[in-house]
Structure 1
Amino acid sequence: MKKMFLPFAMVAASNLVMAGGDLQEAVEPVVNVPAVVEEASDNNFYVGVGIAAVSARAADVTPNLFQATKEQDRLGNVDLLAGYEFHRHFAIEGRYTTSFTHDDYTKMRGWSLFAKPKYPVTEDFTVYGLLGYGNVELEESNGSGIEMDESSFQWGLGLSYMFNESFDFFADYKFLANDLDGVIYQGIPTNVSVDSFTVGVIYKF
């Protein structure tokens, strides 16, 4: 009987602690598990609209969005965009642009498909790049004879500010056409470049 009682007594004693003459149940140590930050986006689909200042010019002319020059036409465009955010650091985005005003010579429409790498600088501010492929079509206005319709590599840089969970404000610069063959004025062949600066708002579903 003593042999059977001894193991039970040892097991019971191992679960109790003697403190000041009182028996207390042993307390399991608390293990703090670090929280895992979820990187995936909660709002994956988004759409947006922006107003773009566009410079369509001969490739060897420096763009100037603040002053009219002889071999440049300044355009005002509406940009429509839609995208899908796979991750807080990466999205795919499509854009369509069309002119609603211009200086003298041309009007424009075009489309783009971008890979959009992103880097959150703070909780609200994010910087991003745009790398992709798109089309630019320039059409004549006021009898200028301008003609251009080509697709090429496009790139851009921008930043966004998260106003709330549903809305972001953004501003970006895009280089839409570089040294493309075209007709710039009255049948004169030349190489054409197109730049665009856009400000707008994004709605996240």
Structure 2
Amino acid sequence: MKKLLPLAFTILTSTYASTANAENSWYLGALYNAQEISIHGRDFNAAGVIAGYQYNKYFALETRLSTGTSGYSSFYGTPEEPWGSYSEDIDTQASILIKASYPIFNSFKLYGLAGYTNTKIEINGLGQHNDSEGNITGNYPYKHTESESGFSYGLGLDYQINAHFNVFIDYQVLPDFEPNSSFSKDWESTSIGVSYSF
């Protein structure tokens, strides 16, 4: 799938670049997405806004800004006596994307996305202090942010409700989750949303 998406995007852009001649317009919208990292339990949900400029019938430049609505969490100990905890969620996720569209029916368009995505993940936890014998003597909170960024790409389907409103669904491959140089996992996102052109 990862090898086919860039090829599809290249075909869309090269085939229709010379024939595009629609009116320019701005659009705004909202989205909700489900994201999955290929680690058990590392699923995120996020909501956000989009803003874009439609250069012509086939090409647009789009930005997306989201924040997490649910993330991953765990605890140490027992539910009755947790002596440590850990949680991570998306603080902010920002993308700038080239969007290449191709009409397939009267109101439907298939589109490809390619661009750059930066994600900041906020990590919170509760650690413990131990004495020389390993006994827990107290807790302390900790908090930090990790950032992942790089090339992202995907495919989507857009349905035009009327002259101004569209709904869409798309799938993207995000930059790999790499908290350190020896650890890398796939990161995917499925989004649904609505946009208004003016």
TM-score, with structure 1 as normaliser: 0.66
Correspondence for 1:87 among 56, 62, 87: 56
Residue equivalent to 1:129? 112
* Amino acid across the alignment from 2:151: F
Residue equivalent to 1:160? 158
* Amino acid across the alignment from 2:159: Y
Cα distance, 1:56 vs. partner?
Answer: 3.0
Q: More strand by proportion, 1 or 2?
A: 2
Residue equivalent to 1:175? 173
Separation (CA, whole Å) in 2 of partners of 1:166 and 1:131: 24
Change (3 A) 1:143 1:91: farther
* Amino acid across the alignment from 1:195: E
Q: Deviations over 1:161-184 (max 9, x none)?
A: 000011001000111122x4306x
Residue equivalent to 1:48? 29
Q: Does the 8 Å CA contact 2:165/2:195 hold for their aligned counterparts?
A: yes
| RMSD (Å), alpha carbons | 2.5
Specify every segment of 5 or more residues in structure 1 that has no aligned partner in the other structure, as ranges. Answer: 1-37, 59-68, 184-188
**Identical residues among aligned pairs (%):** 29
Structure 1 segments of 4+ aligned residues over 2 angstroms from their partners: 38-43, 141-148
Q: Does the 8 Å CA contact 1:139/1:147 hold for their aligned counterparts?
A: yes
Correspondence for 1:120 among 99, 103, 107: 103
Q: Does the 8 Å CA contact 1:148/1:181 hold for their aligned counterparts?
A: no
Q: How many residues align?
A: 151
Q: Secondary structure at the match of 2:147?
A: strand
